[in-house]
Structure 1
């Protein structure tokens, strides 16, 4: 069987397409299968996370630059 199984007659059909696949185990009931969290990052999410990380690093550099220009080396403390 494939690693992405669909709900079959569990009564708890997902409304979100991200919850439609799961690794079925014998100890899981229909509620547990429905609540299983699957995370998948596509290009947009990956790009957004990278852009946010670069923005934070750039902000730190700008803060230190302004601090050193205004107050000298004491800005590093």
Structure 2
């Protein structure tokens, strides 16, 4: 199954969280996505959004300011 990728690294909070919420809203059961995040504040905010939806992502730290969250619904 193909995993769609969403590069949110160009956005900062609160826009990064809003964009992530839009992506999550369109996610069907069984689908997987990867979200690329470009700063720690956005990472914290998006992680909170995922917690409110009871979604536990896989976390990968690519660099000091680049993070990848893999989400399976």
* TM-score in terms of structure 1 length: 0.22
Answer 1 or 2: which has greater strand percent: 2
Task: Pick 1 or 2: higher relative contact order, CA cutoff 8 A, min separation 6.
Answer: 2
Q: Compare CA radii of gyration and give the structure with the larger one.
A: 1
* TM-score in terms of structure 2 length: 0.24
Answer 1 or 2: which has greater helix percent: 1
